[in-house]
Structure 1
Amino acid sequence: MSMDPKKKTVVQAVSLVVFMGALAWASVPFYDWFCRVTGFGGVTNVSDVANEEILDETIIVRFDASKDHEMPWEFKPMVREIEMRIGETGLVFYEAYNPTDRPIAGSASYNVAPYQAGFFFNKIQCFCFEEQVLQPGERVEMPVTFYVDPEIVTDRDAKYTREITLSYTFYEIDLPEEARQASLVQPAETNNN
């Protein structure tokens, strides 16, 4: 028994819409996975421990900071660049300041350039792993601990890399519930009458 041509067209159209919707839904996690595996787009790796192999060859790591146009914080690296041995653990700090009269939460996105170096850039500790909340007038120094994997010197594309730039961009986000509640608590007034 064959299907009516109109019904067949409707079934095919609905199937196509469902298939395209599934692809759209899966594209973000797939792209994220692809970037983390390949380092494409400057995505870095995360490591639980420091590297053990340290080469005599050095690399310059530059640090950049920016913020979304609506983010009121001041945000900058405390050093602009360091020269370090490949495989050596580096520690740098970024500074953030909330000049407003309200608590502000922020989240940092990051990128490494050139892109092919992202696969070899390993963060051990980073302020970007968690949301940050700064109280009014609060200034903080936020650490980044990292190393450049020695395998960078044997990679077909990345072996010519002599400088890496680590960039962060801060965005304002909604305050977490506990921070919102804490900002609503007013100090109790004492009555001396």
Structure 2
Amino acid sequence: MNPRLKTASQLVGVAVVMASLSFAAVPFYDWFCRVTGFGGTTATAAQAPDTILERKMTIRFDASLEAGMPWQFKPAQRSMQVRIGETGLAFYEAYNPTDRPVAGTASYNVTPDAAGGYFTKIDCFCFTQQVLQPGERVMMPVTFFIDPQIVTDREGKFVREITLSYTFHTTDLPEEHAAAEPQTPAPVAN
């Protein structure tokens, strides 16, 4: 085989492998973060564990909006204390001050990063898209617990305070809500 053709074939092969790996990187990174709690990614569970420790953890709540999101969004309380393993329930308040329905989804994380894999959500408004009608105000719950395994983790055992942060992002309205949006009347021709 011609050395130039062989080199060209190898370079094309390398490019194909690199492109394939780049597409696999996003789902792999997402899986890695969910499994390890890396980057403050939280875990999910169907229920809290049976073990509840005496040690308490302070949970702080934070809320923000992406640029252009017209809602008002805030935690109903700034902090609470829960025992490790105990089910906690917190609420966030959202208000749509506009004259149109607005849809949003919440992204979230916890800090410090060492707590990410141990902060476990049972149920959360962040699992689904939220649609608020004009002038609608809602209280949105999040049910969670701190996994007791945090006390045996090399870094997690030093965590005494966790901050749960949400950012709401504007998303497209589902079709059933988009059809109900008020339409601007067409100009009448004389």
Aligned CA-pair RMSD: 1.4
**How much does 1:44 deviate?**
0.6
Cross-structure match for 1:36: 34
Q: Secondary structure at the match of 1:6?
A: helix
Which residues of structure 1 form unaligned runs of 5+? 186-193
2:87 is matched by which residue type in structure 1?
A: T
TM-score by length of 1: 0.92
Instruction: Supply the AA of the counterpart residue of 1:88.
Output: E
Q: Offset of 1:183 from its aligned partner?
A: 2.4
Q: Which residue of 1 aligns with 2:83?
A: 85
Unaligned runs of 5+ in 2: 184-190
Amino acid at match of 2:128: E
Match of 1:146?
A: 144
Counterpart code for 1:11:
S
Q: Following the alignment from structure 1 to structure 2, what is the Cα–Cα distance between the partners of residues 115 and 179?
A: 37
The answer for the alignment partner of 1:20 in structure 2 is 18
The alignment partner of 1:50 has SS state of coil
1:95 partnered with 2:127: no
Aligned equivalent of 2:132, options 122, 129, 134: 134
Q: How many residues of Structure 1 are paired with residues of Structure 2 in the alignment?
A: 184
Work out whether residues 89 and 143 of structure 2, in 8 Å CA contact, stay in contact via their aligned partners in 1: yes
1:52 CA drift (Å): 1.3
What code does the residue aligned with 2:107 have?
A: S
Moved over 3 A (4+): none
Query: Identity over aligned residues, as a percent?
Result: 62
1:160 and 2:186 are equivalent in the alignment: no
CA apart distance, 1:32: 0.5
Deviation, structure 1 residue 132: 0.5
Code of the residue aligned with 2:139 in structure 1: it is: E
Query: Which one-letter code corresponds to 1:62 in the other structure?
Result: R
Distance 1:31 1:50 in 2: 26
